[in-house]
A and B are shown apart, each in its own frame.
Chain A
């Protein structure tokens, strides 16, 4: 029997006046709850995790050396032994497909991190300090946003004697940061005028403390969404670069490089097993990331409810 003297709050099921602290949920916990309900985003996350794990575990899963050439067995059709056949050099296409994910995903994620680092820092500086700092950084973003990323990277690559995945990551990071910087700058511009920042300034907090403690936590949500979509974009740009033969050296198996082998009308017509699978992997990966990005955007954006 419940004690009739204690009233129970209908909403929280806790006794009123018991002073037991009710733990609220942080915005990130709320977003996570919303994200979990988004089926598309969850499926995307699961498939992306699978692709990532398989790519990482490639040397364990695949016993065949992806760059080993078998000159007696070139351009073979798919068979029970070589699941996706072999290319013109007699390399196992299936092994190359699995290994290819390693470089493509590495470039996607590493470039995203570098881009967020550069774009986030410059955007924060521009938005927080304003004046000439803002002026200089914004003119730089104007330049980078005028010329599409793919064109800028192609220009950089054309100047270099040779490329590898790390050079490519740096080249991509140096050219793709403008949109991230714009997002962070506009967030900082509005945050700068808010009362809690003014309050922090009034009690004598220094700039670094205000940025780290008050500004950055408030831009995390849009930053995470932008970063997720950046990974997809960078994988697309990398595959396009490698496809054009201007990306990772052709000896390294990447999805873009495998598609580069199909720049030949004979291959397109007669050997679809060479170019269809790597393309599907790119599309699938990018699609998963786009689903996750959309799910994150919906989860963080409290205003957007599905109509």
Chain B
């Protein structure tokens, strides 16, 4: 088991290195650097030459890559081209907000999708089951940003229930419980928008999984023993049907982050997604490199955790 975890971990390292090499090469191929955009006639051209030298832009690409990589490992992500601030500091300020949003979205997904999926699978091919299946099928076809626009229109403008921007009410210095409630009030709409796609996908998945488990021999045996319907469902069906959800958790991490780029931009949510969106527009390569590397690391860690949890939770799975 521990051997498997170690090996599984070691496999991720070349992937991360390859990602960094590819991203770095792409940036090298791109025209221009930090100084080509900001030409100021009042500043002597030799200043830019000197700055390029100081930043190491005159060195060969391979050397630059190793410079960047060794800095990155030490937590020095470089300086933002545009904001002239340490990238690590910018990301550090934002990443908490993204986690808050993503974790809320995950909780919403589980709270809604698991009961709905089970409810649907308990009465297969009934009218309500068809309705739920139909809605989740349509839900899978709605782009995140369109869902966000509809949510803002309905819940912010029409009903006025939730605010559509920021993480807290500006100007009000709430403390204690009021602060937490204010945060929750702000996070719910973007989190629900972010979770929408996952809710639809999970509901379909759980329904199929429960229906599949209900057909297994051990369920028939349990019924034949005369066990109560509820006991069979809880102890035999659900335990087997919901187990694969653990693997989805890891795969979901990437989806949540790429969804966060859109959701955070629309809801003016100061997280990593919005930072990356702004960096994309400004071609702020140090932020892009660091942000993408961090996302990749999180996705790989998510996959790793999912694999380990799955092997712990399901004794049928043996790794050697």
Residues of chain A touching chain B, judged by Cβ–Cβ distance below 8 Å, are 139-140, 142-143, 146-151, 154-161, 232, 236, 239-240, 243-246, 259, 262-263, 265, 268-269, 272, 275, 279, 282-283, 286-287, 290-291, 307
Contact = CB atoms under 8 A, between A and B. Distances in A.
Contacts of A279: 143, 146, 149-150
A154 B144 contact: no
Contact of B277 (A147, A244, A268, A287): A244
Contact of A287 (B15, B30, B137, B146): B137
A270 B320 CA distance: 62
A282 B146 contact: yes
B29 A148 contact: no
Given A154-B280, A259-B145, A269 B14 contact: no
Interface of B: 14-15, 18-19, 22-23, 26-27, 29-31, 124, 137-138, 140-146, 149-150, 152-153, 157, 164-165, 211, 215, 254-255, 257-258, 261-262, 265-266, 276-277, 279-281, 283, 288, 292, 295-296, 299-300
B223 to A, nearest CB: 17
Nearest to A148: B258
Contact of B280 (A149, A158, A243, A307): A158
A155 B211 CA distance: 41
Given A156-B26, A240-B145, 13 more contacts: A146-B300, A154-B261, A154-B276, A155-B23, A155-B280, A160-B30, A232-B141, A244-B145, A259-B146, A279-B143, A282-B143, A286-B143, A307-B215
Contact of B299 (A146, A159, A232, A282): A146
User: Which label, helix, strand, loop or mixed, suits the secondary structure of the B interface?
Assistant: helix
B14 A245 contact: no
Contact of A148 (B18, B22, B124, B254): B254
A287 B138 contact: yes
B258 A142 contact: no
B149 A240 contact: no
B149 A262 contact: yes
23 contacts: A139-B15, A146-B300, A148-B254, A148-B257, A150-B261, A159-B27, A159-B29, A232-B141, A240-B145, A240-B262, A243-B143, A243-B145, A244-B145, A259-B146, A263-B265, A268-B152, A269-B153, A269-B157, A275-B149, A279-B146, A279-B149, A283-B141, A290-B140
